[in-house]
Structure 1
Amino acid sequence: MRTRTVRSVLATSATAAVLALVVTSCGDPDSAAGSGGGKKLHIYAWAGEIPDSVVKKFEAETGIDVTVDTFDSNETMTAKLSSGSAGYDLVEPSQYTVQQLVGQKLIQPLDHSRIKGMDNLADKFRDPSYDPGNKYSVPWIWGTTGFAYNDKCVPSATSWKTLFDKKYQGKVYMLDNMLAAYIAALQVTGARATSTDEGEIEAATKALEDQKKLLAGYNSTNYPQLLSTGQACAAQAWSGTAMAKVVAANENVHYVIPEEGGSIWTDGLAVPQGAKNTDAAYEFINFTLRPEIAAMATDDGGSASTNAKAREFVKDKKALDNPAIYATDEAVKNADFLLDPGAAMKYFQQGWTKVKAS
């Protein structure tokens, strides 16, 4: 099951080029033998985010034979589509990647006359900033970027400033992820996480350089466990399965959306250009918009559903109260959707190089 501990936010152009070379060696999903002998659906999704139970129920109801291939970064998925021989009918990009795929003309506008259940989505996922009018994507799951702390070391915390506090020198971790780190640095210096202003990015870079001497390290893997054992006092964190399990199991560990805002991420369904099985793709989109199906994303996948009406169908009621799964509306009122920085990416890349070398 994927958690945000393995999420890649944005790769450099060099990394993307390498990925493009790697993924072209992968097999075409159309070559996979189907068991149904009839209609087919090929999906390319984040590992663990579309539970097997959802796929099996869809196949049983529709008779459509579903193949799900998985990826572990948006860049891998984008490179696969760019190769021109992907053969997928649905993909699951994150919000900023929707913007990139639209710009590269790799996904097609949705035909909303064929979609039922959009009104089941929570308000913040209808007409989002990254995809006005949900023209290209239907959000499926969501989460946040914030931080977590162990109250045996940090009595209480509500601000990103905790991660920049000299009192916790050697016991603080930041995510080893460029734009995730800049979310904290931009907001702690008074800017928005979506800023593309060169001066604001420079100020954030300086904050990260100053912070680095306080850190135990950059860590995007086992920081929840380090918090649980007390080896870490505080750590920047993604919501999701790994963090949620530690919060549920250890009363001393708390996940927080910082008062400065933090950020919201979402992964949704989009139809690639050249998709062959669009009827099946729209059937699956409509299937996932049903509240009882959307609830399975939480019960069987450990993720927060974008479907507001799904909450009443979630069996694991404790998950609804776990802030590392479902952040409250109050907690995310100032949160930003992390967007594609476009031309400003060079400022982040230059700054991150300086931070890592400092």
Structure 2
Amino acid sequence: MRKKSLSRTVLAASVATVTALVVTGCAGSDGGSGGGGKKLNVYAWAGEIPESVVKAFEKETGIEVTLDTFDSNETMTAKLSSGSAGYDLVEPSQYTVQQLIGQKLIQPLDHSRIKGLDNLAEKFRDPSYDPGNKYSVPWIWGTTGLAYNDTCIDSADSWQTLFDAEHKGKVYMLDNMLAAYIAGLQITGSRATSTDEGEIAAATEALAKQKDLLAGYNSTNYPQLLASGQACAAQAWSGTAMAKVVAANENVHYVIPKEGGSIWTDGLSIPEGAKNTDAAYEFINFTLRPEIAAMATDDGGSASTNAKAREHIKDKKALDNPAVYASDESIAEADFLLDPGTAMKHFQQGWTKVKAS
């Protein structure tokens, strides 16, 4: 949750935590479902829809795409809530899809107009946050896990590494509420998706006790701190920054902790009131093509949700980099971080307590 605050920064998946990109443009004149629209307004996480994808789409279709960026799901939601955003596609994270459905800010997808959903990997079909992919088509995905430098920690496969007094002052947690609670909940034996008040309270106590051991909360340069040896271990989001460090430094490793970690995904949805829906469906179909989906990895550094894209990916090393593509085995127990709903107040109250401890 990357990354994101409830942003994947809260997650990202982060529900946190870490960059975003958009395609905006003036509304076309084709109406809600009319034909021939030549403009497309897309609002997406920065860097997640590579320029190469946009340029290829424009060249093939003649549709003009304008790119905007947002840095959190909250920013995107606020824009849609204003009623004057003018976007035809948005790229919410999984738990934000749930929130947007509840607020009636995105519309059900017409699957008769979509081609290629069967190209998606099985875990992204009929996901828990959007049964039947009714409102969202997953585009890229990642994980919340654990990174460490083996020059000061021989190996690590558990969140316990970040709660061990032996590493005091050399470990970091993501500065993101729901991301931190992934570790807090799982280290105390609960699921990352728990909304139980007692389980959240137990996680809060664990995080409060942990705080004295931390070098700090950090959602920005922790990969570089790990690379330099200034940090021994850190809660981490997979994705470009972490993947580059893992690829370049043989001492830095990224793992999904045995307690489960979490999975996040960002996908394409059509807002209520979108004007250029024909163009929006064209773009969704374009991104579902395996050779186009492969660009998310080759040009964007992200893992594609498209299973058939793997054979088209040129950067084969990315397929073996766990900070890009976590193995199926490692994410077997990982949850999609979901919208906690009314339980959010328990997380917020607990997080205030942790930060004040």
Instruction: In structure 1, give the amino acid aligned to 2:26.
Output: D
- After superposing on structure 2, the runs of 4+ consecutive aligned residues of structure 1 that deviate more than 3 Å are none
Instruction: Please state if 1:328 is matched with 2:321.
Output: no
Instruction: Please state if 1:30 is matched with 2:29.
Output: no
Matches within 5 A, 1:192-203: 192-203=191-202
Q: Is the CA contact (8 Å cut-off) linking 2:27 and 2:276 kept in structure 1?
A: no
Q: Give the whole-Å Cα distance in 2 for the aligned partners of 1:72 and 1:29.
A: 19
Q: Give the whole-Å Cα distance in 2 for the aligned partners of 1:38 and 1:272.
A: 17
| Paired position in structure 2 for 1:46 | 45
| Paired position in structure 1 for 2:6 | 9
- Give the % identical residues: 84
Q: Is the CA contact (8 Å cut-off) linking 2:226 and 2:232 kept in structure 1?
A: yes
What is the CA-CA distance between 1:288 and the residue it aligns to?
A: 0.2
Instruction: In structure 2, give the amino acid aligned to 1:293.
Output: I
Q: Is the CA contact (8 Å cut-off) linking 1:74 and 1:94 kept in structure 2?
A: yes
Q: Give the whole-Å Cα distance in 2 for the aligned partners of 1:288 and 1:274.
A: 22
Q: Secondary structure at the match of 2:141?
A: strand
Instruction: Please state if 1:205 is matched with 2:204.
Output: yes
Instruction: In structure 2, give the amino acid aligned to 1:9.
Output: L
Q: Give the whole-Å Cα distance in 1 for the aligned partners of 2:6 and 2:80.
A: 18
Q: Is the CA contact (8 Å cut-off) linking 1:49 and 1:301 kept in structure 2?
A: yes
Q: Is the CA contact (8 Å cut-off) linking 2:27 and 2:39 kept in structure 1?
A: no
Q: Give the whole-Å Cα distance in 2 for the aligned partners of 1:38 and 1:117.
A: 22
Instruction: In structure 2, give the amino acid aligned to 1:262.
Output: G
Instruction: In structure 2, give the amino acid aligned to 1:136.
Output: Y
Q: Give the whole-Å Cα distance in 2 for the aligned partners of 1:338 and 1:126.
A: 16
1:283-312 deviation digits (Å, cap 9, x = unpaired): 000000000000000000000000000000
Structure 2: segments with no counterpart, 5+ residues: 9-23, 29-35
| Paired position in structure 2 for 1:109 | 108
Q: Give the whole-Å Cα distance in 2 for the aligned partners of 1:114 and 1:247.
A: 40
Instruction: Please state if 1:171 is matched with 2:170.
Output: yes
| Paired position in structure 2 for 1:122 | 121
Q: Give the whole-Å Cα distance in 1 for the aligned partners of 2:233 and 2:165.
A: 12
More helix by share: 1
TM-score by length of structure 1 reads: 0.92
| Paired position in structure 1 for 2:215 | 216
Q: Is the CA contact (8 Å cut-off) linking 1:29 and 1:86 kept in structure 2?
A: no
Q: Is the CA contact (8 Å cut-off) linking 1:115 and 1:285 kept in structure 2?
A: yes
Q: Is the CA contact (8 Å cut-off) linking 2:25 and 2:65 kept in structure 1?
A: no
Q: Secondary structure at the match of 2:213?
A: coil
What is the CA-CA distance between 1:8 and the residue it aligns to?
A: 2.3
What is the CA-CA distance between 1:203 and the residue it aligns to?
A: 0.2
1:104-146 deviation digits (Å, cap 9, x = unpaired): 0000000000000000000000000000000000000000000
Over the residues paired in the alignment, what is the CA RMSD in angstroms? 1.5
1:65-118 deviation digits (Å, cap 9, x = unpaired): 111211110000000000000111000000000000000000000000000000
- How many pairs does the alignment contain? 335
| Paired position in structure 2 for 1:315 | 314
Q: Is the CA contact (8 Å cut-off) linking 1:38 and 1:65 kept in structure 2?
A: no
Q: Give the whole-Å Cα distance in 2 for the aligned partners of 1:253 and 1:326.
A: 16
Q: Give the whole-Å Cα distance in 1 for the aligned partners of 2:228 and 2:57.
A: 41
Q: Is the CA contact (8 Å cut-off) linking 1:141 and 1:267 kept in structure 2?
A: yes
Structure 1: segments with no counterpart, 5+ residues: 12-27
